[in-house]
């Protein structure tokens, strides 16, 4: 269901996307906007008129065992994506990068 709605990619589809450790936050943001256009369009529409153009609309989420945690790094880039993608030296099949979208309340 998530994959059909453009909110996630699994298995063979996910293997087509490569994360780079040397990415800046802007490059990581452009990558996510490209592969997840629907969620970004939706959250951007919620933020119209709230001066959110310079705001990051996503946060990196880490998963440790069965618990999820927000990564508090401001403007995460390639190093953070690489670090929180899973176990050390994971195969592409076991790599997970989880981001959460959010909208400003004020």
Residue 3 in domain:
no
As a whole number of angstroms, the distance between CA 10 and CA 93 comes to 9
Tell whether 90 is covered by a domain.
Answer: yes
Residue with more model confidence, 24 or 85: 24
Per-residue burial over 6-26, b = 16 or more CB atoms within 10 Å of its CB, e = otherwise: eebeeeeebeeeeeeeebebe
Going by pLDDT thresholds of 50, 70 and 90, the confidence category of residue 86 is low
Residue among 2, 42, 35, 37 at smallest CA distance from 19: 35
Position 56 in a domain: yes
45 φ/ψ angles, rounded to the nearest 5 degrees: -65, -30
Note whether residue 5 is domain-resident: no
Residue 2 maps to a domain: no
| pLDDT of 22 higher than 90 | yes
Q: What average pLDDT score do residues 27-32 get?
A: 89
Residue 39: what are its φ and ψ, rounded to 5°? -60, -40
Residue 1 falls inside a structural domain: no
Q: How many domains does the chain have?
A: 1
Domain containing residue 47: 11-101
Average pLDDT, the chain: 76
Q: Is residue 106 in some structural domain?
A: no
Q: What would the mean pLDDT of 92-104 be, rounded to a whole number?
A: 73
Q: Do the domain assignments include residue 65?
A: yes
* pLDDT surpassing 60 at residue 92: no
- The average pLDDT across 26-49 equals 85
């Amino acid at each position: 269901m998530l994959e059909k709605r453009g909110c996630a990619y699994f298995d063979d589809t996910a293997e087509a996307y490569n994360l780079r450790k040397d990415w800046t936050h802007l490059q990581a943001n452009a990558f996510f906007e490209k592969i997840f256009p629907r969620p970004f369009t939706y959250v951007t529409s919620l933020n119209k008129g709230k001066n959110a153009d310079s705001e990051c609309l996503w946060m990196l989420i880490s998963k440790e065992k069965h618990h999820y945690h927000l990564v508090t790094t401001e403007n995460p880039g390639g190093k953070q994506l690489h670090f929180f993608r899973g176990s050390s030296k994971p195969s592409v099949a076991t790599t997970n990068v989880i981001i959460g979208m959010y909208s400003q309340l004020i």
